[in-house]
Amino acid sequence: MTVHPLSGPAPGYDDPYEAAGIRLLTGRRTGLDEHLARHGVLPLPWSGRGGGDERLISAVELSGLTGRGGAAFPTGRKMRAVADGKGFPVVVANGMESEPASRKDATLLDDAPHLVLDGAAVAAAAVGANTVHLCLARPRLLQAERMRRCVDERLRRGLDRINVRIQQLPHHYVSSEESALVRWLNGGDARPAATPPRPFEKGVRGQPTLVANVETLAHLALIARYGPGWFRRVGHPDAPGTALLTVTGAVRRPGVHEVPMGRSLGSVLETAGGATAPLSALLVGGFFGSWLPAGPALSVPFTRADLAQLGAGPGAGVVVALPKDACGLAETARILNHLAANSAQQCGPCRFGLPAVARDFTALAEGRPEKDLWARLRSRIELLPGRGACRHPDGASRLAATALSVFAADAHIHMTGHPCDAFHGSAVLNIPQAHVPGPDEWR
Amino acid sequence: MTISSLLRIDRIACDGHGLCADLLPELITLDEWGYPVIPLSVVPHELERHARRAVAACPVLALRLDSTAHGVRRGG
Ligand SMILES: Cc1cc2nc3c(=O)[nH]c(=O)nc-3n(C[C@H](O)[C@H](O)[C@H](O)COP(=O)(O)O)c2cc1C
């Protein structure tokens, strides 16, 4: 099957997946033959040496695709900046998924590895790169092994003109931040680097570097085939396409669900089978996401702009439903302790501010109100953002600040020295053992 | 268009010595651990000389004065 660039015969509404608004996740592992039967060979006639591809970049701009790795930045614009940079561009595929509450990238790499690899080839063609580094978390050995086999199979069949290198990096919360990936690929620690220059200006080997999340790449694979118009058929005009969301907590079918962008948070929960208990709040974005009160949140469309109005963002596509009988302050304290332990220990806010906030928050959650705790905690939280090399402290600050406002009533009870009843209940969020990485654990 | 200077800190290099806040209290304060807080990084013309002194005084060369908008956040 030959597919013409940007105008291939798109799956029609008779296609059961397309009809259901599902584009990436078919629910089972798709091998290369099935992948090619469904989508055809990736049409990249523009793939030449050197120089980006204007047609492809404009198509991505028109599609309105935004990054699915956290910041929701327009992918086309980032590609253009890289293609316009000085030097020989490099592509970095971010498959690290260090967010403990997220499973979407692992699920995608399991189900549709060839969409991700196609997307890597599209990104390379768009910016004029011939090397793609696929960054994976080192402990996930099976994942790397599977991806390596997929890359080899494509090579044997002569499908790729690019060089895809599987890279296995230390797995800590911040080792997946883009400047940390670049620093590690350049032979250093997988710890965030001081910017500017940012990776798009000067990244791997000093070259302009496009860092993109693996889900973002999978969408690119389809945009290159079926065009921006097709991409926009699903989703919201301001936030087109689908997104992979990890929905957990008090829902009937916790897991990764592909959802058209712009659905309400309530409908996102319905996709996951609906709530199993009355809810008090939703955690949106991930460990450095925002708490939203369940009532008003349910009607909010899942788009960057709509969430921003409530002080939230799509983040890594995590939605956690917190039941009324859980304690949001206790959950938050545990997340903050994890974020504090998992920082790179490089900048003032992460060396001192964040651990202090985590300690204060723990005192609050446990109902140990020291003198001035409330005022001190508030001012420490406010001083975190914008003062680190990366946005780790910013994320932690947002989580803590939204917790204090959403769980304000509980906080007052805790401040009188009595944790709320829910404090003694079992935790909703699964938080990995906090392990402070040693100085030699970043390479 | 007037080009104004921007204060930039390499947050990784910064060790919280705090000399910058001594020399440029109008723009820089310190948090409780001695690390700089800079609510506004645009340096007004009349403070430019003080800003240069603060830059020169930083023992770890973490403070910089940029005269262009280079480095304004862009990209995801
Ligand atoms: C502390 C921290 C951790 C991050 N972890 C990830 C991650 O695990 N995966 C990811 O794709 N992006 C992560 N990001 C965002 C990346 O820096 C980068 O913006 C992203 O990979 C760009 O891809 P996108 O434009 O496709 O979203 C992280 C950012 C920060 C500040």
B11, B34, B35 ranked by CB distance to A389: nearest: B11
Report how far ligand 1's centroid is from the alpha carbon of A104 (Å). Answer: 13
- The mean predicted confidence, pLDDT, of chain B is 87
Bridge partners of A244, per DSSP, are: A258
Distances (CA, A) of A119 to A44, A114, A155, A204, A374: 11, 8, 15, 19, 48
Q: How far is the CA of A90 from the centre of ligand 1 (A)?
A: 17
Q: What are the boundaries of each domain within chain B?
A: 2-70
- Region A209-225: what's the mean pLDDT? 97
Residue A5 has a pLDDT of 72
Ligand 1 centroid, distance to A217 Cα (angstroms): 13
pLDDT at B72: 43
Measured in Å, residue B44 CA sits from the centre of ligand 1 at 35
Please answer whether residues A4 and A43 qualify as being in contact, where contact means their C-beta atoms are separated by less than 8 angstroms. yes
Q: How confident is the model at residue A426 (pLDDT cuts 50, 70, 90)?
A: confident
Instruction: Name the pLDDT band for B56 (thresholds 50, 70, 90).
Output: very high
Q: If you average pLDDT over every residue of chain A, what do you get?
A: 93
- Name the fold adopted by A242-323: Ubiquitin-like (UB roll) (3.10.20)
Atom of ligand 1 nearest to the CA of A68: 27
Closest by CA to A243, choosing from A107, A150, A120, is: A107
- At residue A174, the 3 state secondary structure works out as coil
Instruction: Specify the pLDDT at position A60.
Output: 97
pLDDT single digits (tens) A162-183: 999 999 999 999 999 999 999 9
Out of B35, B70, B75, whose CB is closest to A81?
B75
Distances (CA, A) of A301 to A128, A282, A284: 36, 14, 12
pLDDT number for residue A52: 86
Looking at the predicted structure, is the pLDDT value of residue A51 above 60? Answer: yes
Q: Cα–Cα distance between A31 and A15 in angstroms, integer?
A: 19
Residues of chain A in contact with residue B73, where contact means CB-CB under 8 angstroms, are: 198
* Ligand 1 in reach of A216 Cβ (< 6 A): yes
Asked if A353 lies within 8 A of B33 by C-beta distance, the reply is: yes
Residue B70 confidence (pLDDT): 44
Of A6-20, A97-111, A231-245, A247-261, the one with minimum mean pLDDT is: A6-20
Nearest CB neighbour to B12, from listed A71, A211, A346: A346
- Three-state DSSP at A291 gives strand
Do A328-435 and A16-233 have the same topology in CATH? no
Burial of A181 from C-beta contacts in 10 A (0-12 / 13-18 / 19+): buried
Instruction: Select from A302, A183, A330, A300 the least CA-distant residue to A240.
Output: A302
Regarding an ipTM greater than 0.90, the answer is: no
DSSP structure string for B13-71: T-----HHHHH-TTT-EE-TTS-EE-S--EEPGGGHHHHHHHHHH-TT--EEEESSSTT
Tens of pLDDT, residue by residue over A137-164, are 999 999 999 999 999 999 999 999 899 9
**Dist. CA A51–CA B66, nearest whole Å:** 31
In tens, the pLDDT along A53-93 reads 999 999 999 999 999 999 899 999 999 999 999 999 999 99
Residues of A in contact with B36 (CB under 8 A): 348
Domain A16-233 has CATH 3.40.462.10: no
Strand, helix or coil for residue A260: strand
Is the Cβ of B37 closer than 8 Å to some Cβ of chain A?
yes
Partner B contacted by A41 (CB < 8 A): no
Query: Are residues A347 and B12, on separate chains, in Cβ contact within 8 Å?
Result: yes
Residue B74 predicted with pLDDT over 50:
no
Domain boundary assignment for chain A: 16-233, 242-323, 328-435
Fold assignment, B2-70: Alpha-Beta Plaits (3.30.70)
Residue A288: per-residue pLDDT:
85
pTM for this prediction: 0.93
CATH dotted code for A328-435: 1.20.1440.230
Query: Residue A47: which pLDDT band, with cuts at 50, 70 and 90?
Result: very low
Q: Would an 8 Å CB–CB cutoff place A359 in contact with chain B?
A: no
Atom of ligand 1 nearest to the CA of A92: 21
Q: Which amino acid is at A370?
A: E
pLDDT at residue B68 above 90?
A: no
pLDDT value of position A107: 98
**pLDDT of A16 above 80:** no
